[in-house]
């Protein structure tokens, strides 16, 4: 279980002042839960994710995972990046095993250990190919396989489908759901897309901006496993409409209805 308590983050600005990116953010994520974070640009959701990853330190508050406070990256968490961030000089199989290599395995061992995960994402054929030979969707699957290969309890996904076109994106969402049903990991998923958040998650955190803070946490009462048709259900529409109303208000749209 992940407990985020009173998280705040200040940045120093060039002119000597400071800027509060996150203020008093508190929530918790349950084991094996698919938890999305959505919010307008600049609300600090990526910063928050990086804090859970241990890449950024909070200036206030703390994050506990199963009772232990996060002080840096760890074996229990793995990240998937929006820009994929694969090693351009290494082939796909090496890329999938790279997380293991960084933790001390030899190249050969990590490549061997990576094979099943490459198969999990359906790219066994491309083991010896290079990243630039693959499409965006395939590259992101490699990124996902790499994260799964280190056997984390928690997957941290930073707008992983943001760099993909709409059609690929939808396919990837469905693939992710299928994979998640099997792997049963805790996932914290940052996104811009309300449809995506509603389709994938058990709960959605809607963030406010300037400074970034919790606006509300929504339950997603949709049946699992999530089928494609669920996108057209009335519950889905209600949920996304609600999210849109909230977000729109935050983005300063003059035609938005006043916040309740």
Partner 1 sequence: MGRHRGRTHEASNSGVWEPVVTHQGEPSIASGEPYTAEAERTMTANRWIPWAFRIGSVGVVLLIWELYGRAQETTLFFVPVSSVIAALWEQVQTAEFWDAFRQTFIPFVWGWTLSLAVGIVAGLLIGRFSTFDALTKPYVTFLNALPVSTLVPIAVILFGIGYASRILVVFLFGVVEVTLNTAAGVRYVNKDLVEMGESFNASETRLFRKVILPASLPGIMAGVRIGTGRAVVGMVVVEILLVAVGMGRLILRYRGRFQSADLFAVVLALIIFGILLQVLARQVERRVSKWKYEMEQIA
Give the footprint of partner 1 on this chain (CB under 8 A). Answer: 53-55, 72-75, 78-79, 81, 83, 85, 87-90, 98-99, 101-104, 130, 132, 150
Whole-number Å distance between alpha carbons of 100 and 121:
17
Output the smallest distance, CB 54 to partner 1, in A: 8
Output the smallest distance, CB 98 to partner 1, in A: 7
Residue number, 150 or 206, with CB nearest to partner 1: 150
Residue number, 2 or 218, with CB nearest to partner 1: 2
Residue number, 39 or 99, with CB nearest to partner 1: 99
Residue number, 188 or 243, with CB nearest to partner 1: 188
Residue number, 35 or 81, with CB nearest to partner 1: 81
Whole-number Å distance between alpha carbons of 216 and 28:
13
Output the smallest distance, CB 87 to partner 1, in A: 7
Output the smallest distance, CB 246 to partner 1, in A: 30
Output the smallest distance, CB 175 to partner 1, in A: 21
Residue number, 162 or 249, with CB nearest to partner 1: 162
Output the smallest distance, CB 11 to partner 1, in A: 17
Whole-number Å distance between alpha carbons of 30 and 43:
23
Q: Which of 165, 113, 170, 123 is nearest to 144 (CA)?
A: 123
Residue number, 73 or 249, with CB nearest to partner 1: 73
Q: Which of 2, 44, 5, 4 is nearest to 22 (CA)?
A: 44
Output the smallest distance, CB 89 to partner 1, in A: 4
């Amino acid at each position: 279980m992940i407990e985020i308590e009173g998280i705040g983050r200040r940045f120093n600005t060039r002119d000597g002042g400071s800027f509060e990116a996150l203020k008093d953010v508190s929530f918790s994520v349950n084991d094996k839960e698919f938890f999305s974070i959505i919010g307008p640009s600049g609300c600090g959701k990526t910063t928050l994710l990086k804090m859970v990853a241990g890449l950024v330190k909070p200036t206030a508050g703390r994050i506990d995972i199963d009772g232990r406070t996060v002080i840096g990256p760890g074996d229990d968490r793995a990240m998937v990046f929006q820009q994929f961030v694969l090693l351009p000089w290494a082939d796909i199989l090496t890329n999938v095993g790279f997380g293991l290599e960084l933790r001390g395995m030899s190249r050969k061992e990590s490549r061997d250990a990576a094979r099943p995960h490459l198969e999990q994402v359906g790219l066994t054929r491309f083991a010896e190919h290079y990243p630039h030979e693959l499409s965006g969707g395939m590259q992101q699957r490699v990124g996902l396989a790499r994260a799964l290969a280190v056997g984390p309890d928690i997957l941290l996904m930073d707008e992983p489908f943001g760099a993909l076109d709409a059609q690929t994106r939808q396919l990837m969402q469905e693939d992710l759901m299928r994979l998640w049903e099997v792997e049963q990991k805790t996932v914290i998923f940052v996104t811009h897309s309300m449809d995506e958040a509603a389709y994938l998650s058990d709960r959605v955190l809607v963030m406010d901006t300037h400074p970034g803070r919790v606006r509300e946490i929504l339950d997603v009462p949709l049946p699992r496993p999530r089928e494609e048709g669920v996108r057209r259900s009335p519950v889905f529409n209600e949920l996304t409409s609600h999210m849109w109303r909230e977000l729109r208000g935050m983005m300063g749209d003059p035609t938005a209805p006043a916040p309740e």
